Amino acid sequence: MTVVAQGQTRIMGILNVTTDSFSDGGRYLDRDAAVAHAVDLVERGAHIIDVGGESTRPGASRVAVSEEQRRVLPVIRELVARDITVSVDTMNASTAEAAIAAGATIVNDVSGGLADPEMDELVIASGIRFVVMHWRGASDTMVQNAHYRDVVGEVIGELELRAAQLIVKGADPEQLILDPGLGFAKNAEHNWALLGHLPRLTALGLPVLVGASRKRFLGELEPGGDDPADRDLSSAVVAGLAARDGVWGVRVHDVTLTRTALAVAGAWQNGAAR
């Protein structure tokens, strides 16, 4: 288990056990390949491995819950046995429950609990840490919902409301982690506005997770950016700037570049404090 220093931004390494994820779909369907990749991410500096068995890229179709669990649970069990901290990336309460039983300590739900009416009860009863992402509909329809008058104000307001709903139902505020949902019902302009105003989100007082890694809006910034793997440098820069703005964690594909970016951000902050 990687130790996290006080105030250190966590690196959440992405492990897609899927056929159709936009960046690496199909590469880690085999359990041994998935475990090996996760171990490599941890050795490079990841604090958490986020295991997902269902793609949430724009336009993606849902996967049967039984298939999702078949993909992720053996991997989670093996990683936990190796003392690796695991998050499960799922919108299904039954998958989250099984993953918790297998040793996952975080549920990362891109719907913030809105896709499955049983998720709230599970989160509250289990006491599990829960990533509440901003969500305006399923992957196959979310592009239609990318309309805002004030994207920063609306996203923060909707996240604040969702967190309040969970707390009123009985969730401990310390369970909750907020995610602005970059790329989910948002275009490039929306994403950059949210990143540019991260301090307004962190000011709510809850931990914030940022997941910009390899997303399409970064492709405009790098030569060859049409290939998701060519977006790792810009992804790392975003991670460093997000860390400087005080986020709890960054969800990334390339841990090595991210670790360097976070080190630069930390040195910058230390220099400013002198």
CA atoms of 10 and 124, how far apart (whole Å): 24
70 is catalytic: no
Which one is catalytic: 10, 57, 136, 251?
251
Pairing of strands 209-210, 48-52: unpaired
Helix or strand holding residue 236 (H, E): helix 232-244
* Long-range interactions of 142-146: CB distance < 8 A, separation 24+: 142/58, 142/184, 142/185, 143/58, 143/59, 143/185, 145/185, 146/185, 146/186, 146/187, 146/190
The Cα 160–Cα 271 span in angstroms is 33
Q: Mark whether 62 is an active-site residue.
A: no
Distance CA 66, CA 227 (A): 31
Which one is catalytic: 215, 231, 244, 259? 215
Which amino acid, 121?
E
Return the active site residues: 215, 251
